[in-house]
Amino acid sequence: MPVPKHVAIILDGNGRWAKAKGMPRTYGHIQGAKRVEPITKAANELGIKYLSLYAFSTENWNRPKDEVSTLMKLLAKYMKICQKLCLQEGMRARIIGDKSGLPADLLKEATELENATAENTGMCLCICINYGSRDEMLRAMRKMYADVKDPDEITEETFSRYLDTADIPDPDLLIRTSGEQRISNFLLWQLAYTELYFTPVDWPDFTEEELKKAVDSYRHRNRRYGKV
């Protein structure tokens, strides 16, 4: 099998990683964020065309206030770091999720990142912030309901076009770090036939080598799509 075209990663385990070191959870987020740049570069070098990173879910707002505010500040900072990286590497960035729920400064940095990299043709870095798959599908249904007059017009392709991931192919490989084996409201529609890879490694320890291991595992899979 060729290298996966689209790899999606649930970045998990920052908090537990920090706690195991006797540090506050926010330290785990700071260290975890530092993995974004090297992993993005490594994905690009492997020939991956789309890399989706689940950074903040619609449910993550229910965490303690100080943790949420640290995450929002970190995300705003990484919009700038990602912009520099994307411009260096010829990559474009897309923000996936409900942008209307983002703090103003983060929204501004996110919009700048998308606009500054929109013309690039290299790997697409999809950063999922304030993202929840059920929320995405509801927003898509509302938009579709306003547009579509005849329900028979609605096909899988039509619906896909209303999702935040419009024009992005479904993930070939989903990686989740930290040993948890669940989807946690990530890309429920898009993951229909995605290969799943779970690793016990926490996100702050997820190296380029770990990414290669996941891709190698994918290359030995047999995707049948319901056929024989």
Q: Going by C-beta distance under 8 Å and a sequence separation of 6 or more, which residues neighbour residue 153?
A: none
Closest approach, Cβ 149 to ligand IPE, in A, equals: 37
| 60 binds, options Mg ion, ligand IPE, none, Cβ within 5 to 8 A by partner type | ligand IPE
Annotation says 152 is catalytic: no
- Stretch of 4-12, 86-94, 165-173, 220-228 contacting ligand IPE, by CB under 6 A: 4-12
- Note whether 180 binds ligand IPE by CB under 6 A: yes
Structure tokens at 132: 């929840």
Annotation says 60 is catalytic: yes
Residue ranges in 7-66 that form contacts with ligand IPE under rule CB under 6 A: 10-16, 54-57, 60
- In angstroms, the CA 98 to CA 134 distance is 11
Find where tokens 């043709």 sit.
Answer: 121
Q: Which is nearer to ligand IPE, 20 or 192 (CB)?
A: 20
| 10 binds, options Mg ion, ligand IPE, none, Cβ within 5 to 8 A by partner type | ligand IPE
Binding residues: 12-17, 25, 29, 57-59, 61, 63, 176, 182-184, 195
Instruction: Catalogue the active-site residues.
Output: 12, 60
Using CB under 6 A, list all residues that contact ligand IPE. Answer: 10-16, 54-57, 60, 71, 178, 180, 182, 184, 203
